[in-house]
Amino acid sequence: IYFQGFRVDLTVKYSKIRGQVGVYPIKLFYTSNIPIILQTALVSNLYFFSQLLYKRFKASMLVNMVGQWQEEPTFGQSVPVGGLVYYLSPPRSFAEIFGDPFHALIYVVFVLVSCAYFSKMWIDVSGTSARDVAKQLKDQQMMMPGYRDSDLPKVLNRYIPTAAAFGGACIGALTIAADFLGAVGSGTGILLAVTIIYQFFEQICKERDQGAVLF
């Protein structure tokens, strides 16, 4: 919740209404929880296919390189114990982190890089890139004081890709911290719950303010 407050406010004004000035906020979590959703989907699919292949082709060297699985005696769940999926899975305790620091390092690098990449990719797919935002502002007859309309994409490009990539990495870092600290549930689940609840809270506040203006 604390990190949700980090943002850069860019001053904008209406080109046809003199004196009316507003702000366009660029938040640190510019793409919200999308990076961790995409990263989780990627890993989940990899887990699924790895388990399926390992059950049928245990003797295959290629399948073993992708992932080796073992059932836990306590809960009866299959957990990765070797191969690529093992290094992409979070360490389950501090003992595992100190026992195999290479595993922890690869997991941290993978989550940070994948979240940053998915976040930067999402702005181009979802229409929230610097070019798309500049077009939206132009369509709404808004401009930035001191800049021409043709300069808007360049100005926004200084902030939006950086906010997307860095925000995605921060989302990944928060997930890693929750996993390493042994939070109840998974770090991803907690992060998704918090961000969704916070978005609802922001929407309620926005609608309340709009209602206050109307009445």
SS3 per residue for 141-179: CEECCCCCHHHHHHHHHCCHHHHHHHHHHHHHHHHHHHH
What is the Cα 203 distance to its own chain's centre? 20
Q: What is the pLDDT along the chain (215 residues), one digit of tens a residue?
A: 566 667 777 777 776 666 667 777 787 777 777 888 888 889 989 999 999 999 888 888 898 898 888 887 766 678 888 889 999 888 877 788 888 889 999 999 999 999 999 998 988 888 888 888 888 888 877 777 777 777 888 888 888 888 888 888 888 888 888 777 765 555 566 666 667 776 777 677 767 765 544 44
Choose among 130, 120, 171: nearest CA to 26. 130
Residues whose CB is less than 8 angstroms from the CB of residue 178 and which lie 6 or more positions away in sequence, other chains included: 186, 187, 190, 191
Q: Return the pLDDT at 114.
A: 92
The pLDDT value given to residue 33: 79
What pLDDT is stored for residue 113 in this prediction? 93
Q: How far apart are CA 123 and CA 129, in angstroms?
A: 5
pTM beyond 0.95 = no
What pLDDT is recorded for position 192? 67
What are the Cα distances from residue 72, in Å, to 57, 75, 79, 97, 182? 20, 6, 7, 19, 18
